[in-house]
Amino acid sequence: MRSLAARSLALAVIAAAWSGAAWPDPARGADPPDLASGAEPPDLTSGQDVFEEFCAACHGYDGIRIIPQAPNFSDGESLEQEAALLLASIRDGKGELMPLWSEDLSDRQMLDVLAYIMTLRRPE
């Protein structure tokens, strides 16, 4: 069970990143409509489902990487960058091994899973 504090922090970070202005891709045109309006906060239960189905094979269920090229979300280091950048990596992929997810996940699911990975951070 993750701490309430970790959850609230994750949600605050994501909510801040999720204002329309933070959506980082001018080439994509308009902000994703369901997100730019900022109406719904991320759903961590959905985020966990997405993570366990699509991400854990490389990133590990507890955020401790399975493949050596993947960042450890558990130590939190890779999560220190702006949430909008993390989101862009999820959406568009990164490097040679991180797949893009925009074709398989909705904007809402990408937001949810981003919020979830923020909760995998473990203090030393």
- C-alpha distances (whole Å) from 92 to each of 6, 86, 118 are 26, 10, 19
Phi/psi zone of residue 38: left (φ > 0), alpha (ψ -120 to 50 degrees), beta?
left
Is 121 a binding residue for ligand HEC by CB under 6 A? The answer is no
Is 61 a binding residue for ligand HEC by CB under 6 A? The answer is no
Which residue from 73, 91, 92, 93 is spatially nearest to 81, judged by alpha carbons? 73
Calpha distance 107→101 (Å, rounded): 9
Is 83 a binding residue for ligand HEC by CB under 6 A? The answer is no
Query: Judged by CB under 6 A, which stretch of 5-13, 14-22, 31-39, 84-92 contacts ligand HEC?
Result: 84-92
Is 7 a binding residue for ligand HEC by CB under 6 A? The answer is no
| Least Å from the CB of residue 101 to ligand HEC | 5
Residue ranges in contact with ligand HEC by CB under 6 A: 50, 54-55, 57-59, 67, 69-71, 78, 86, 89-90, 94-95, 97-99, 101, 113, 117
